[in-house]
Structure 1
Amino acid sequence: MCCVTVIQSQDGWRVNYHQTDVCAAKGSTVFIICDITHPPGIRYSDIKDRFWFTKEKDREPVDLKTDSEYSGRVTYGCYSNSKDCYLIIRDVRESDSAEYKFRFMTNKPGEKYTGSPGVTLNVTDSGLQVQVRRSDSTWLELTCHSSCVLPDRADYDWYKNGRYIETGSSLLVSSGSTDRYSCYFRGSSGQRSPAVYGPQRPSVSVSPSAEMLEGDSVTLTCSTDANPAASYTWYKEHEDSPRASGQIFTITDFTAEHSGNYYCEAQNEMGRSNSTLLLITESAVDRTTRIIHITRWTLVFVNPILLLVFCLWTR
């Protein structure tokens, strides 16, 4: 995976590959670059029919543009008035893992050259990923991981909110930050890892309503944007112990004691964040109904007693 220049020489002609190995995630776009050095007295205009290949047929290289497996996905060429040539493969597949070589001919009959060995492309299911490890209560250590085999002491470029900040094997960031961090390895064909970040302010929804009738059920749902994915804990205001865990919290057989403010806490390896308070109350209609029932039953029991007292007093 080293980013070094490899020189292949034939009769004073040289093909210089800027990378010997390229690692790429499936579905990404790969760039491979080389340059040509020619013998004295030769001009670049003497170079004809430049192309890239991986296979041979009847001992002759097969141009990638004529290979049906690469149909519509390959672009190559050389920069104007430049010795630099490039190969672009879009939407790479695991079957594209192969050795790619640059081939050219000159205007001299029979003069053909191939840069060999070429560039080895390794296509994997996933590319770079940032792993998070807690260093202490204040700091987190971010390291870059790849499904490709990379050098033991590989350095990575680190980005914060899409902007480069530094180069190194790892990165220390403060715990609880909602900034987005990603890494990039030059041997990965320009790919950057997905960003990791702490939970954004969670949002809470309630169904069917925040005003409940006694005996009903209510479901609270918490959601947030976070990577790695967040876990959820539910609390009632002024209580230290959680009421539930998980993205969904259901209160069954609702009573007046359940009324109050609720919130959820979203947490991942990068930090935590709380939602705003959600007030759940017993429905005013339900309270009125209960008062009517209480009044009715009071009259049913109290009236006979009052009547009996009145009769006794009259006698």
Structure 2
Amino acid sequence: MCRLQHFLLVFMWLPGEVVLQSLSDCGPSAPEHCIAAEPFEYGTIGQPKELSVQYVIPSGFTVSLIALSKPRDDPVPDIQISLITPPNAPIIGGAFQGDVEVTDTGTADTRTLTLNILAVAADDLDRYTTLIQYAGDDIFVATTTAMLAVPVPPNPILTISGYTTGVSAGQSLPLTCTSTQGKPPAQVTWWKSDVEQQQAVYSNTPDASNQGDAMSVLTLAVQPANNQETYQCRVSQLGTEKGRQDLQLNVRFLTGTPSLTGHTNPVNSGSSLTLTCTSGNSNPPASITWTRVGGAAPTGTDQPQADGQHGGKITSQQISLTNLQAQDNGAQFKCTATNSQLGQNHSLDSSTVSINVRFYLEGSSITGYSGPVTSGSSLTLTCTSGSSNPPATITWTRVGGAAPTGTDQPQTDGQHGGKITSQQIRLTNLQARDNGAQFKCTVTNPAVSGSEEKTVTIDVQYAPTNAQVTCNPSDLSDLREGGRLVCTCTADSNPAAQFSWIKDSTTGPLPTGAVVDSTAGTLTFSSLDRTHSGEYSCTANNGISPEATSSGITVNVKYAPVQPTIVSNATTVEEGDSIHLTCQTTSNPPASYSWTKQSGDLPDDAREETVDQTSVLVIPSLTKDHSGTYICTASNILLPGGTTKEYNLNVLCESAKIT
């Protein structure tokens, strides 16, 4: 195949006025403002590629010469082609037809010259030069170049710098992601949860061939909320992603002063009391120390850590004060939470509390149900008391029925030295009958009067059942063309079902004129016709298996006979021959047929036979007298008078035979 090496296109133009603002300074003193092109273009071997050049024609000038070339050594094109086509017509480069196409389009003063390489080959990867020669009071030349190259993917290994193993809240953290050796340099972006971080700063360092490194710097003002967040560096080139790398942050922080609970008032002599110190949210987990004002505090006992916000931990520790006496009344305690990785200045003290015994009941809750459940599944409901001293008792009831027996769960420590009591009931094989059932737990503290109740209502979702169809009119035995029929499908389900209809046990589009409302479950025929006849059934589906399908209903649309047709078994008959005249029509119910002869009776030996809803008139031995017009009449209950068809029978004399 010939490839474009050098070619010259010569055009003559009428003077134009420059209207393109970006090239508005075009003229002999600024020819670089007359023409523009992308300095680098990228193509794929074997694929088409367009190279476009935009140029303007200043007022008072015409274009006397346009030259396009891609020389490696010789900058002067050695092929010239005179333009004899209109200025806006596509131009095929002479001997290079089939390899490249050149078009020049636009207005009189703003033009776009396009070189379309039909299939890029290795020798097309070169620097392309476009030269425009202008003629007016002066003659001047404007040129531009574009390099066509194959892109070079960047190094698949990304480099993220600026972070090692952790960072403290309040610090500024610059994260730098670097991609190397892309041609063109890659586009580097930062993302979090599939949201691009627009504040990141992008830069690149290409060489003369437009190959080089690229980087993006994302600077974060680190807060506790950034802990365990994953940031992702993505690298793309020419619109195609080339790689990505994740970075998860470990942020060190300590938020909120510790709380001290468990103190009550009054305290009876000889009683015991447990104080609990709970730290604020901390990463890594905080350590807790105790202080007793004017005395020595007991050693604390660590409790299981709890999850805090932003991946932090909440640390708890208890001290047990036993055999309290009158002299202990008013004793003051405080606790201190420290995050050692934040340094000595990152310790927080609780408020100071005085010993005071008090029994009370806090709020209770029911957990284990967060939304609808499917029939056949099981559910465990947990009733949890508030903090109580002494521990509360729990009972379960089912509104309007019997509730299962509850099972006590291990108690946990609550605020102010109280206990949290839990009890569970297990609901198995939930069915449609359980939908809307209400379960109530009652929490009672014998130390105080009154009780507290919590109720939960169960939403059991189940598959459709008992799909049924009712129609209006309900009598389907006398449906006629042009009449209206509405059939409604219903089913018992939760959530409400969507309905679909099929005809004759076949999926696919229903006949024209059949309208389905999948929510209401209706199948509507505004004007019945014969194509609507068949067996219809509906299916209810609410996303829970199995579906429910109704029994079929039969739609039998009655219509009058159409004009019958008469077909003879012979085109020419003679005396002595027999003839079979077959009369046929379509109708519902099937038509009745009768034969008559115009101006006379049927031949004595003629007989009528019914075959597959057709009527055949048989005349076994024709005579000349049998010639005439025979009439077939088709009728049914919708057209008692019937519809007719005539047949002209001409019996030839035996002497008319051709021998």
TM-score range, shorter chain: 0.3 to 0.5
TM-score normalised over the length of structure 1: 0.40
Greater relative CO (CA pairs within 8 A, separation 6+):
1
- The structure that has the greater radius of gyration is 2
TM-score normalised over the length of structure 2: 0.22
The structure carrying a bigger helix percent of its residues is 1
